[in-house]
Amino acid sequence: MTKFIALRVAGMVPQLLVISILAFLLVQLAPGTVADSILGSGASPQAVAELNHRLGLDRPMIEQYGIWVSNAARGDLGVSAKTAEPVVTTIGSRMGATLSLALGALLLAVVVGIALGVRSSLRPGGIIDRTITVFSAVALAVPSFWVGILLSVYVGVRWALLPAGGYTPFDVDPAAWFQCLILPWIALSLPSGAVISRQTRSAMVDVLRSGYVRAAVAGGLTRRQVVWRHALKNALTPVIPVIGFQLVVILGASFVVEQAFNIPGVGSMAVQAIFDRDLSLVQGTVIVVAVFVLLSNLVTDVAFGWANPKVRL
**266-295 residue pLDDT tens:** 988 888 888 777 878 888 998 999 998 898
User: Where is pLDDT greater, at 56 or 96?
Assistant: 96
Residue type, 162: L
Q: Which residues of 12-42 are buried (b: 16+ CB within 10 A; e: fewer)?
A: eeeebeebbeebbeebeeeeebbbebbeeee
Q: Which residues of 275-313 are buried (b: 16+ CB within 10 A; e: fewer)?
A: ebbbbbbbbbbbbbbbebbbebbbebbbbbbeeeeeeee
> Stretch 245-257: mean pLDDT, rounded?
91
Q: Within 13 A of 313's CA, how many CA atoms are on the CB side?
A: 3
Provide the pLDDT for residue 209. 86
Q: What is the pLDDT of residues 71-115, one digit of tens each?
A: 888 888 888 877 889 999 999 999 999 999 999 999 999 999 999
Q: How sure is the predictor about 151, in pLDDT bands with cuts at 50, 70 and 90?
A: very high
Q: How far is CA 232 from CA 19, 43, 47, 206, 300, in A?
A: 37, 65, 66, 11, 18
Provide the pLDDT for residue 310. 65
pTM (2 d.p.): 0.87
Of the listed ranges 17-31, 170-184, 232-246, 247-261, the one predicted with least confidence: 17-31
Provide the pLDDT for residue 44. 78
Provide the pLDDT for residue 311. 61
Domains and CATH numbers, the chain: 1-81+278-313 (no CATH), 93-276 (1.10.3720.10)
